[in-house]
A = this chain, B = another copy of it.
Amino acid sequence: MELTFLGTSSAVPSKYRNHPSIALKAFGEIILFDCGEGTQRQMASVKISPMKINQIFISHLHGDHILGLPGLIQSMGFRGREEPLHIFGPKGIESLKNSIFNLGYCVIEFPVIFHEVDGGIIVDEKEYVIECIKTEHNIENLSYSIYEKKKPKFLKEKAIELGVKVGPDFGKLHNGCEVKIGDKIIKPEQVLGEKRIGAKIVYSGDTKPCENMIKLAKDANILIHESTYKLEDESKALESSHSTSQQGAMIAKKAKVGKLILTHISTRYTNVDELKKEAMEIFENTEIAYDFMTLEI
């Protein structure tokens, strides 16, 4: 899996930071989280093809998180896309469709399917699961988690005890198929351990610190958390339902994540060392995202 930060600013973009968007290259596709204005150009800069995106997950309906959608969708149409595009987001996202399709003259002939979601497992594929939970911004915000499904441990000794011979039958059972040993049918659940999850990545969207965020981020390998403000501007964060870098770090600590990446940085801070330093006082393994930052997981 490869994460690319396409935009890391908050409401106002700067020369160095575009509006929010994160691309996850995994499972043979590109999965997009948020799509601020200019996202399609950011993608062009790092050679990510819009045609490989089948799913976009929107945290909330503020312009800085959605205004790249019309251009991205129109460009897909312009390139002759035929495959459906799925867009997930909070209540209200379905009504974006008309506005997007009526922004000037455009031909969009492929299916664009909007899904209004409000929590729980929203995508359950063979290789991965995507969940969301409501967190606390000044309008409805969803935070997302994506994790790989990992095969349960194969209990080798148990299998031998049941008469399975070392060889192809081990693989069949591990892959979820029954095998026949003499007259006996051995079922996979007899030789498999508990369900396991692989790499887990969690993205906050915009939120002030809250219990649901800790719950969703629990044991994640990577927590991408918004960090609009510095500690000295904590009152501004509270007022606008955003977080400081220390508040993001507190979530990371409580959720026991592996690594914290702070994003959605207010462009009032040209030097972000202070934000990082303040976060690291609480959670050591912290990075500040920058546009085009890439991370292998």
Q: How many copies make up the complex?
A: 2
Chain B neighbourhood of A70, CB < 8 A: 37, 63, 67, 70, 103
Minimum CB–CB distance from A9 to chain B (whole Å) comes to 9
Is A40 an interface residue, CB under 8 A from the partner?
Answer: yes
Chain B neighbourhood of A271, CB < 8 A: none
Contact (Cβ within 8 A) A40 B37: yes
30 A-B residue pairs with CB within 8 Å: A12-B44, A12-B75, A12-B78, A13-B44, A14-B41, A14-B44, A15-B41, A15-B44, A15-B45, A18-B38, A18-B41, A37-B41, A37-B68, A38-B38, A38-B41, A61-B104, A62-B106, A63-B71, A63-B104, A67-B103, A67-B104, A92-B104, A92-B105, A96-B102, A96-B103, A96-B104, A98-B102, A99-B100, A99-B102, A99-B103
Chain B neighbourhood of A12, CB < 8 A: 44, 75, 78
Query: Which 10 pairs of residues, A with B, have the shortest CB-CB distance?
Result: A61-B104, A38-B38, A13-B41, A37-B71, A99-B99, A15-B45, A63-B74, A61-B105, A99-B102, A67-B71
Chain B neighbourhood of A98, CB < 8 A: 99, 102
With CB as the reference atom, state the residue of chain B lying closest to A267.
B44
Is A31 an interface residue, CB under 8 A from the partner?
Answer: no
Is A133 an interface residue, CB under 8 A from the partner?
Answer: no
Is A95 an interface residue, CB under 8 A from the partner?
Answer: yes
Is A220 an interface residue, CB under 8 A from the partner?
Answer: no
Is A66 an interface residue, CB under 8 A from the partner?
Answer: yes
Is A272 an interface residue, CB under 8 A from the partner?
Answer: no
Is A11 an interface residue, CB under 8 A from the partner?
Answer: yes
